Amino acid sequence: MTSRAAPTFAETGRQLLSEYSAFLRHPLDIFRSYQRQNLRPDLIAGLTVGVVMLPQAIAYALVAELPPQMGLYAAIVATIVGALWGSSHHLHTGPTNTTSLIVLSGLLAVATPGTPKYVIAAGVMAFWVGVIRLGLGLLRMGVLANFVSDSVVVGFTGGAGILIVVNQLQHLLRVEISRSPMFYTTLQEISGQLTAVHLPSLVIGGSMIVFLLLLKQFKPRWPAPLLGMILASAAVGLLELENQGILVLGQLPQGLPPLARLPLFDFDLLRQMISGVFAVAVIGLVEATSISRAIAAQSGQHLEADQEFVGQGLANIAAGLLSGYPCSGSLTRSLVNYESGSRTQLGAVFSGLFVLVAVLLFGPWARFLPRAALAGLLVVIGLRMLNLREMRHIWHTSRGDSAIMVVTFAATLLLPLEIAVLTGVMVSFARYIAITSQPAVHTMLPDAEFRHLTHSPTKSTCPQLAILTIEGSLYFGATAHVEEEIRHNLDINPYQRFLLLRMHQVNHCDISGLHMLETIVRLYRQHGGDVFMVGVREAVWEKIQLSHFDELLGLSHFLSQERAIEHIFYKVLDPGVCIYNCPHKIWRECQSLPKSDRIVAAPTGILVPETAVIPNTTVQELWSALNNGGPPLVIDVREPYEFANGHVPTAQLMPMPQIMSGETAVPRHQATVLICRSGRRSTQVLYKLQQAGYDNLSNLEGGMLAWESAGLPAVID
C-alpha cells in the first residue's frame, strides 16, 4: 500500500487561491447559467419587491436613527451585491428591523444620533461587519450558523419588536426625550411628557396604523406601506400641515450612492463599538441563513452556507463604503420575492435597480413625508415581529427551547442589545453542550420477531449479556456520563459479565472517549467478563487503531452486526446460566435451549480461566474406546429430558447442579469422560472437579452436537 506525499506549501496555496476565487467569481457563474425564460418572472418579482423595499428602507434607517437616504443606499447596494455573491435564489439582503435596532444600540455608545460621527460610525460598523462575515465564509465556517437555536431568533425578534414600538412612541407623540438603549428608561421619560403630546402628529401616526391594519385585513396583497406613505405625504402637502408643526423628512438627495470617506482603521472608534460589531455580524448571519434555509425547504434549492456568508460579507462591505449601514436578510422581502415568482438571484438585483430609479426620479417628493406616519408604520412592523403563534408553539414543544426563548426575550428588553444577542447565543451553545454531553445510553433487547433490537426497559433481561446503544459522540464532555450509565447498568445487573456496545451512532471519539472505553474493558474483565463491539464507524475505527485500543480489546471482539449475538451466545456465554438461572428465552438462540426445572436466582456456573488445562477427548477417540473393551466411565451432565432425547451408549446421567452441589459423587480415580450438549457445561464441571483433586478426567470436545454430527449412534430413552 503506497502512501501519498504531503502537499507542498505552493500546492496548498494554489488550492486555497482556487477555492477563494470560486467564491468571488460567483456572479460570473450566475450570468453564464442564466436562461432567457427566467427574465420576465425575475423582472416582475423585482418590481414587486422594490415597491415593498422602498418604504421599508426609509423606515428601518429611522429605527437606527440614521438619515433615510442611508437606508435607501443600503437597500440598493446590499441588495445587488448580496444577491450576486450569495447562494440563495430568493434571499433578499438589505436593511432589516432587527439589524437596525442592534445598530442603534451599538452606535449609542459611540455618538449622539444626528451627529456626523454617528453617521460615520454606522458606515465603519457596516464595513467591519462585512469583513467578519466574509472571513467566516472564506474559512468555511458557515456551519456555525446551525448552532444557534431558532428559539434565540424568536426570542430576540419578539423583544426587538417591543423595543421598536417603544422607541417610536416619541415620534408618534412628538415629545422630546433623551435617547437611551433601555426601553424602561424611554417609557419612564415618555410617561412624564404625556401632557406635551402633539395632537396632529398623533392623529397622522394613528391614522397610518389604522390604515395599515385595515389594508392588511381586507387587501393583503396591496403594497400598504407604500400607499400609506403616498397618502400621508399628499395630506401634508395639500393641507400644509407643516405649518401646524408636523415634522417631515425633507428632500432626499438625488444621485447614485456616493463613496463614503470612512476612518476604517480608527481603532479607538472600533474599540468603543466592537461588541456591537460582533453582535450585528452574528445575529445577521443567523437571520440570513435561517431565512434562506426556510425558503429553500419550499423551493428545493441546495444552499451553500459558506457562499451565503461571503455574499453577506461583501454586501455589508459595499454598503459601508457606499454610504449605507449594516444589513442582513429580510424575511418579508425574501418571501415576497419567492411568492412573486422569482427564479434566480437576478430577481433581487432588479429590485435594487428599481429602488435606484425611484430615488433618482422621486427623491424630491419625500420632503412631504411626515415623521409621525413613519413612526406609525414602524409600530405596526414592531408588533408583527412579536410572533405569538411561534412563541406558543415553542412553549408547548420543548422546555429547553422555551428557556432559551424566555432568556433571550428578557435579555433583549433588559440588557444592551449586543449583550442580549450574545446572551442568547451563549445560552443556545450551553444547551447544545448539555445535550451532547449526555448522550442516551439505551439497553437493547430483541423484538418479538427477533428481527431488530429495541429499547424495552420493561422486558426481562439476560442474566449474562448486556447490549447497550450509545447515541452520541464520545468526546471529552460526554465520556463521564456514558461511563456512569454503563457502570449503573452493571450495578443493577451484577451478573451481566459480558457487554456488547452498539457504536452505530457514535460519529466521533476523542482521546477521552478512548480512555473511557479502556476503563470499561478493564472493569468487565476484572469481573470475569468481556466487552464486544459492533457498528464501529470508519472515523471512530481510525482513532481506535491510532490509539491501539484495537490491540487492547482484540480484533476478535469487533463483531458483525448480523452474527454478533450468535457468536457471543455459542462461543462466550455460559449455557449453565441459561439453563439453570434464567427462566426466560431472550435471544433467538435461546429458543431451542432446554430450561431446568430447578431455576435458581444465582448463577451455578463458574468461570473457567483461559490458563486452565482442560483435557479433551474427541468423539472418534471415545467411540473407539467404547468398542475396544476398555470403555471409560461416561457421565452426561445435562438435564434428564436432554438425556432422554439422545445420549452416548453406556453414559450415566449426573446433572450439572447435582455435581456442583455435591448431591452426586463422581468416582475419583476411574477414567471418566464428561459430556454435555456443546462441551461448555462439561468443561465447567471438569474444572470444578479438578479444583477438588480429580486428575483422571477429560471433556468430550464438542459434546453431543459433535457426536451427532459425526453420525455416531445415540441411545434414545
Determine the number of helices (DSSP H) and then strands (DSSP E) in the chain: 29, 13
Cβ-contact 278, 144 below 8 angstroms: no
SS3 665: coil
Phi–psi pair at 254, nearest 5 degrees: -100, 140
Is 591 inside any structural domain?
no
pLDDT band at 1 (very low <50, low <70, confident <90, very high): very low
Question: What pLDDT is stored for residue 11 in this prediction?
Answer: 60
Rounded CA separation 650/640 (Å): 15
Is 714 inside any structural domain?
no
> How far is C-alpha 547 from the chain's CA centre?
28
Question: What pLDDT is stored for residue 556 in this prediction?
Answer: 93
689 and 543 inside one domain = no
176 and 93 inside one domain = yes
pLDDT tens, residue by residue, 412-448: 888 877 677 677 778 878 888 888 889 999 999 998 8
455 and 358 inside one domain = no
273 and 243 inside one domain = yes
pLDDT tens, residue by residue, 484-529: 999 999 999 888 889 999 999 999 999 999 999 999 999 999 887 8
CATH number for the domain harbouring residue 532: 3.30.750.24
Task: Quote the pTM value.
Answer: 0.62
Residues 6+ apart with CB under 8 A from 530: 497, 498, 499, 521, 524, 557, 572
426 and 451 inside one domain = no
Q: Which of 431, 453, 484 is the last residue of a domain?
A: 431
Closest CA to 81 of 93, 66, 63, 98: 93
Question: What pLDDT is stored for residue 475 in this prediction?
Answer: 93
pLDDT band at 79 (very low <50, low <70, confident <90, very high): very high
300 and 173 inside one domain = yes
Rounded CA separation 582/573 (Å): 12
365 and 471 inside one domain = no
83 and 201 inside one domain = yes
Is 600 inside any structural domain?
no
Q: Which of 396, 431, 466 is the last residue of a domain?
A: 431
Q: Is the pLDDT of residue 341 over 90?
A: no
Is 75 inside any structural domain?
yes
Rounded CA separation 613/711 (Å): 29
Closest CA to 699 of 629, 628, 608, 630: 608
455 and 406 inside one domain = no
Closest CA to 250 of 360, 168, 369, 359: 369
DSSP state string for 479-536:
HHHHHHHHHHHHHH-TT--EEEEE-TT---B-HHHHHHHHHHHHHHHHTT-EEEEE--
335 and 462 inside one domain = no
Rounded CA separation 458/470 (Å): 19
Grid coordinates standing for 82? 448580496
Closest CA to 517 of 496, 501, 493, 497: 501
CATH number for the domain harbouring residue 633: 3.40.250.10
Half-sphere exposure of 660 (CA within 13 A, CB side): 18
Mean per-residue pLDDT over the chain, rounded: 86
Is 596 inside any structural domain?
no
DSSP state string for 207-232:
HHHHHHHHHHHH-TTS-HHHHHHHHH
Rounded CA separation 688/705 (Å): 23
541 and 657 inside one domain = no
Cβ-contact 660, 637 below 8 angstroms: no
Q: Kindly report each contact of residues 151-154 with a partner whose C-beta sits within 8 Å and lies 24 or more positions away, as own/partner.
A: 151/394, 151/401, 151/402, 151/404, 151/405, 151/408, 151/428, 152/286, 152/404, 152/405, 152/408, 152/424, 152/425, 152/427, 152/428, 153/283, 153/286, 153/287, 153/290, 154/387, 154/390, 154/391, 154/394, 154/405
290 and 345 inside one domain = yes
Question: What pLDDT is stored for residue 597 in this prediction?
Answer: 65
Rounded CA separation 99/269 (Å): 20
Cβ-contact 381, 52 below 8 angstroms: no
Closest CA to 250 of 242, 258, 259: 242
Is 358 inside any structural domain?
yes
Rounded CA separation 246/372 (Å): 8
The Cβ of residue 492 has, within 10 Å, a number of other Cβ atoms equal to: 9
Rounded CA separation 599/463 (Å): 13
pLDDT tens, residue by residue, 288-307: 887 887 678 678 888 888 89
Which spans in 109-182 are helix H?
116-138, 150-173
Question: What pLDDT is stored for residue 9 in this prediction?
Answer: 55
Range of the domain at 671: 616-709
Is 604 inside any structural domain?
no
Q: What is the helix, strand, coil percentage profile of the chain, to 5?
A: 60, 5, 35
Closest CA to 205 of 370, 30, 439, 43: 370
Q: Which of 508, 540, 573 is the last residue of a domain?
A: 573
Residue percentage of the chain with pLDDT more than 90: 41
Is 519 inside any structural domain?
yes
Total count of domains within the chain = 3
> How far is C-alpha 40 from the chain's CA centre?
39
Cβ-contact 228, 211 below 8 angstroms: yes
Closest CA to 289 of 450, 149, 432, 117: 149
Question: What pLDDT is stored for residue 223 in this prediction?
Answer: 80
